Amino acid sequence: MRPEWLRLKSPVAIQNMNKVSGSVSRLTMANNEQALTASEENTPQESPMFPLGTVLLPGSVLPLHIFEDRYRQLAEFCTANNSNFGVVLIERGHEVGGGDTRSTVGCSATIVNHERFPDGRWALVVLGTTRLRIEEWLADAPYPRARTTELPEEMGGATMQRALQVLEKLETFVQQAQQMGYQVASVDGDAVVAGLNVTELSYRIAELTPVGPFDKQTLLMASTVATRIDLIEEQIDGLSEILAAGGNKP
Protein backbone atom coordinates (compact mmCIF):
# COMPACT_ATOMS: atom_id res chain seq x y z
CA MET A 1 0.00 0.00 0.00
CA ARG A 2 1.43 3.38 -1.02
CA PRO A 3 1.66 5.89 1.85
CA GLU A 4 -0.24 9.16 1.61
CA TRP A 5 1.82 11.26 4.07
CA LEU A 6 -1.20 13.26 5.07
CA ARG A 7 -1.14 15.15 8.33
CA LEU A 8 -4.23 14.86 10.56
CA LYS A 9 -6.64 17.70 10.00
CA SER A 10 -9.03 19.32 12.45
CA PRO A 11 -12.79 19.07 11.76
CA VAL A 12 -12.95 22.65 10.53
CA ALA A 13 -10.16 25.09 9.70
CA ILE A 14 -10.51 28.26 11.73
CA GLN A 15 -9.54 31.22 9.60
CA ASN A 16 -8.26 33.54 12.31
CA MET A 17 -5.71 31.15 13.84
CA ASN A 18 -3.18 34.00 13.88
CA LYS A 19 -5.10 35.48 16.81
CA VAL A 20 -4.04 32.52 18.89
CA SER A 21 -0.28 32.85 18.60
CA GLY A 22 0.08 35.47 21.30
CA SER A 23 -2.08 33.53 23.73
CA VAL A 24 -0.23 30.29 23.14
CA SER A 25 3.16 31.90 23.61
CA ARG A 26 2.06 33.11 27.03
CA LEU A 27 0.75 29.67 28.01
CA THR A 28 4.26 28.25 28.15
CA MET A 29 5.10 24.74 29.14
CA ALA A 30 6.53 26.12 32.39
CA ASN A 31 3.08 25.49 33.86
CA ASN A 32 3.35 21.94 32.62
CA GLU A 33 6.69 21.49 34.36
CA GLN A 34 5.18 22.61 37.66
CA ALA A 35 2.32 20.16 37.27
CA LEU A 36 4.64 17.27 36.52
CA THR A 37 6.54 17.81 39.78
CA ALA A 38 3.40 18.14 41.88
CA SER A 39 2.85 16.22 45.12
CA GLU A 40 2.49 12.47 45.06
CA GLU A 41 -1.09 12.67 46.30
CA ASN A 42 -2.42 13.53 42.82
CA THR A 43 -6.04 13.46 43.95
CA PRO A 44 -8.50 12.51 41.18
CA GLN A 45 -10.43 15.46 39.78
CA GLU A 46 -13.73 15.48 37.93
CA SER A 47 -13.05 16.63 34.37
CA PRO A 48 -15.27 17.38 31.38
CA MET A 49 -14.08 15.10 28.58
CA PHE A 50 -14.09 15.39 24.79
CA PRO A 51 -13.48 12.04 23.03
CA LEU A 52 -12.07 12.56 19.54
CA GLY A 53 -10.69 10.62 16.63
CA THR A 54 -7.39 12.47 16.97
CA VAL A 55 -4.75 12.79 19.69
CA LEU A 56 -3.90 16.00 21.49
CA LEU A 57 -0.31 16.16 22.77
CA PRO A 58 1.07 18.51 25.44
CA GLY A 59 2.24 21.67 23.71
CA SER A 60 0.12 21.11 20.60
CA VAL A 61 -2.63 23.43 19.36
CA LEU A 62 -5.91 21.96 18.11
CA PRO A 63 -8.85 23.83 16.52
CA LEU A 64 -12.28 22.33 17.18
CA HIS A 65 -15.66 22.94 15.56
CA ILE A 66 -18.40 22.00 18.01
CA PHE A 67 -21.90 21.34 16.73
CA GLU A 68 -23.25 18.46 18.86
CA ASP A 69 -25.50 19.76 21.64
CA ARG A 70 -23.75 18.07 24.56
CA TYR A 71 -20.37 19.44 23.52
CA ARG A 72 -21.88 22.88 23.05
CA GLN A 73 -22.77 22.65 26.73
CA LEU A 74 -19.22 21.53 27.53
CA ALA A 75 -17.86 24.57 25.69
CA GLU A 76 -20.27 26.87 27.49
CA PHE A 77 -19.34 25.42 30.89
CA CYS A 78 -15.58 25.58 30.30
CA THR A 79 -15.56 29.11 28.90
CA ALA A 80 -17.84 30.40 31.66
CA ASN A 81 -15.75 28.79 34.41
CA ASN A 82 -12.28 29.16 32.86
CA SER A 83 -12.03 25.37 33.05
CA ASN A 84 -9.88 22.90 31.16
CA PHE A 85 -11.31 19.74 29.66
CA GLY A 86 -9.74 16.44 28.72
CA VAL A 87 -9.23 15.20 25.16
CA VAL A 88 -9.09 11.43 24.79
CA LEU A 89 -8.74 9.20 21.73
CA ILE A 90 -11.71 7.14 20.57
CA GLU A 91 -10.30 3.65 20.05
CA ARG A 92 -13.51 2.26 18.52
CA GLY A 93 -16.70 3.99 17.47
CA HIS A 94 -17.47 7.53 16.34
CA GLU A 95 -17.22 11.06 17.66
CA VAL A 96 -20.93 11.76 17.22
CA GLY A 97 -23.64 10.00 19.20
CA GLY A 98 -21.67 8.17 21.90
CA GLY A 99 -21.29 4.42 22.29
CA ASP A 100 -17.56 4.63 21.71
CA THR A 101 -14.57 2.92 23.33
CA ARG A 102 -12.04 5.39 24.71
CA SER A 103 -8.39 5.31 25.65
CA THR A 104 -7.28 5.38 29.28
CA VAL A 105 -4.80 8.24 28.77
CA GLY A 106 -5.60 11.67 27.37
CA CYS A 107 -4.44 15.26 27.54
CA SER A 108 -5.77 18.30 29.38
CA ALA A 109 -6.82 21.10 27.02
CA THR A 110 -6.75 24.82 27.80
CA ILE A 111 -9.02 27.04 25.69
CA VAL A 112 -6.93 29.84 24.20
CA ASN A 113 -9.52 31.22 21.78
CA HIS A 114 -13.24 30.71 21.32
CA GLU A 115 -16.20 32.00 19.35
CA ARG A 116 -19.88 31.19 19.65
CA PHE A 117 -21.98 31.46 16.51
CA PRO A 118 -25.61 32.62 16.38
CA ASP A 119 -26.85 29.09 15.64
CA GLY A 120 -25.20 27.75 18.81
CA ARG A 121 -22.10 26.20 17.27
CA TRP A 122 -18.71 26.89 18.84
CA ALA A 123 -15.23 27.32 17.41
CA LEU A 124 -12.51 26.58 19.96
CA VAL A 125 -8.74 26.63 19.78
CA VAL A 126 -7.14 24.61 22.56
CA LEU A 127 -3.61 24.03 23.80
CA GLY A 128 -2.56 20.66 25.19
CA THR A 129 -1.00 20.97 28.65
CA THR A 130 -0.56 17.84 30.80
CA ARG A 131 -1.26 14.14 30.35
CA LEU A 132 -4.31 12.74 32.07
CA ARG A 133 -4.99 9.22 33.28
CA ILE A 134 -8.68 8.35 33.23
CA GLU A 135 -9.39 6.64 36.55
CA GLU A 136 -13.16 6.30 36.16
CA TRP A 137 -15.78 7.33 33.64
CA LEU A 138 -18.79 9.09 35.14
CA ALA A 139 -22.33 9.45 33.86
CA ASP A 140 -22.73 11.99 31.06
CA ALA A 141 -24.10 15.33 32.26
CA PRO A 142 -24.86 15.62 29.34
CA TYR A 143 -21.28 15.63 28.02
CA PRO A 144 -18.78 12.90 29.01
CA ARG A 145 -17.10 13.28 32.40
CA ALA A 146 -14.36 11.33 34.15
CA ARG A 147 -12.28 11.25 37.29
CA THR A 148 -8.75 11.94 36.15
CA THR A 149 -5.27 12.29 37.58
CA GLU A 150 -2.24 13.94 36.06
CA LEU A 151 0.17 11.43 34.57
CA PRO A 152 3.69 12.57 35.51
CA GLU A 153 6.56 12.58 33.05
CA GLU A 154 9.52 10.40 34.05
CA MET A 155 12.75 11.23 32.24
CA GLY A 156 14.17 7.70 32.07
CA GLY A 157 17.60 9.06 31.20
CA ALA A 158 16.39 11.18 28.28
CA THR A 159 18.90 13.73 27.00
CA MET A 160 18.65 16.67 24.65
CA GLN A 161 21.40 15.17 22.51
CA ARG A 162 19.36 12.03 21.94
CA ALA A 163 16.23 14.03 21.10
CA LEU A 164 18.20 16.11 18.60
CA GLN A 165 19.46 12.95 16.91
CA VAL A 166 15.90 11.79 16.36
CA LEU A 167 14.82 15.23 15.17
CA GLU A 168 17.63 15.18 12.61
CA LYS A 169 16.45 11.77 11.44
CA LEU A 170 12.93 13.16 11.01
CA GLU A 171 14.27 16.10 8.98
CA THR A 172 16.13 13.69 6.70
CA PHE A 173 13.05 11.53 6.19
CA VAL A 174 10.86 14.53 5.38
CA GLN A 175 13.36 15.86 2.85
CA GLN A 176 13.56 12.46 1.14
CA ALA A 177 9.78 12.12 1.04
CA GLN A 178 9.39 15.58 -0.47
CA GLN A 179 12.06 14.86 -3.09
CA MET A 180 10.13 11.74 -4.08
CA GLY A 181 6.95 13.73 -4.62
CA TYR A 182 5.08 13.12 -1.37
CA GLN A 183 3.22 15.90 0.39
CA VAL A 184 4.57 16.03 3.92
CA ALA A 185 4.98 19.06 6.17
CA SER A 186 8.49 20.53 6.25
CA VAL A 187 10.50 20.37 9.46
CA ASP A 188 12.89 23.18 10.44
CA GLY A 189 14.99 21.69 13.21
CA ASP A 190 16.36 24.99 14.50
CA ALA A 191 12.87 26.47 14.78
CA VAL A 192 11.51 23.32 16.43
CA VAL A 193 14.15 23.27 19.18
CA ALA A 194 14.01 26.95 20.12
CA GLY A 195 13.11 27.44 23.79
CA LEU A 196 12.16 23.82 24.50
CA ASN A 197 13.44 21.39 27.10
CA VAL A 198 13.80 17.69 26.32
CA THR A 199 10.27 16.74 27.46
CA GLU A 200 8.70 19.50 25.37
CA LEU A 201 10.92 18.61 22.42
CA SER A 202 9.87 14.95 22.59
CA TYR A 203 6.25 16.01 22.19
CA ARG A 204 7.06 18.47 19.41
CA ILE A 205 8.86 15.78 17.43
CA ALA A 206 5.94 13.43 18.09
CA GLU A 207 3.55 16.05 16.73
CA LEU A 208 5.61 16.50 13.56
CA THR A 209 6.06 12.80 12.82
CA PRO A 210 3.47 11.92 10.11
CA VAL A 211 1.81 8.90 11.68
CA GLY A 212 -1.79 8.06 12.51
CA PRO A 213 -3.69 8.60 15.75
CA PHE A 214 -2.96 5.19 17.26
CA ASP A 215 0.77 5.70 16.78
CA LYS A 216 0.43 9.18 18.32
CA GLN A 217 -1.42 7.63 21.25
CA THR A 218 1.47 5.23 21.80
CA LEU A 219 3.78 8.23 22.07
CA LEU A 220 1.45 10.02 24.47
CA MET A 221 1.31 6.95 26.71
CA ALA A 222 5.08 6.30 26.74
CA SER A 223 6.29 5.38 30.22
CA THR A 224 9.27 7.76 30.07
CA VAL A 225 10.50 10.62 27.91
CA ALA A 226 13.41 8.43 26.81
CA THR A 227 10.99 5.70 25.74
CA ARG A 228 8.95 8.24 23.78
CA ILE A 229 12.04 9.37 21.90
CA ASP A 230 12.98 5.75 21.12
CA LEU A 231 9.45 5.02 19.89
CA ILE A 232 9.52 8.07 17.62
CA GLU A 233 12.77 6.83 16.11
CA GLU A 234 11.20 3.42 15.49
CA GLN A 235 8.25 5.09 13.76
CA ILE A 236 10.54 7.19 11.57
CA ASP A 237 12.56 4.09 10.65
CA GLY A 238 9.32 2.34 9.70
CA LEU A 239 8.22 5.27 7.56
CA SER A 240 11.62 5.32 5.85
CA GLU A 241 11.28 1.62 5.00
CA ILE A 242 7.83 2.23 3.50
CA LEU A 243 9.23 5.15 1.54
CA ALA A 244 12.10 3.08 0.19
CA ALA A 245 9.74 0.28 -0.84
CA GLY A 246 7.20 2.62 -2.43
CA GLY A 247 9.47 4.56 -4.72
CA ASN A 248 8.73 7.93 -6.26
CA LYS A 249 5.14 9.12 -6.25
CA PRO A 250 3.76 9.15 -9.82
pLDDT tens-digit map of 35-55: 444 434 589 999 999 999 999
Residue 208 belongs to what H/E stretch?
Answer: helix 198-208
Q: What is the pLDDT of residue 102?
A: 93
**Pair 184, 166: CB distance under 8 Å:** no
> Is the pTM higher than 0.75?
yes
pLDDT at 249: 66
Give residue 8's pLDDT: 31
pLDDT tens figures, 141-166: 899 999 999 999 999 999 999 999 99
| pLDDT at position 94 | 57
Of 85-89, 131-135, 179-183, 211-215, the least confident: 179-183
Cβ neighbors of 64 (< 8 A, separation 6 or more) are: 10, 11, 12, 50, 122, 123, 124, 125, 126
pLDDT in tens, 215-247: 999 999 999 999 999 999 999 999 999 999 986
Query: Could you give the residue range(s) of every CATH 2.30.130.40 domain in the chain?
Result: 17-150
Q: Among 54, 57, 43, 53, which residue's Cα sits nearest to residue 97? A: 53
3-state secondary structure of 150: strand
Burial tier of 125 (Cβ tally within 10 Å: 0-12, 13-18, 19+): buried
More confident position, 102 or 250: 102
Closest CA to 24 of 128, 151, 153: 128
The CATH H-level superfamily of 17-150 is LON domain-like (2.30.130.40)
One DSSP character per residue, 106-140 reads: EEEEEEEEEEE-TTS-EEEEEEEEEEEEEEEEE--
Q: How many CB atoms lie within 10 A of CB 63?
A: 18
Dist CA 13 CA 206 (whole Å): 22
pLDDT given for residue 203 in this prediction:
99
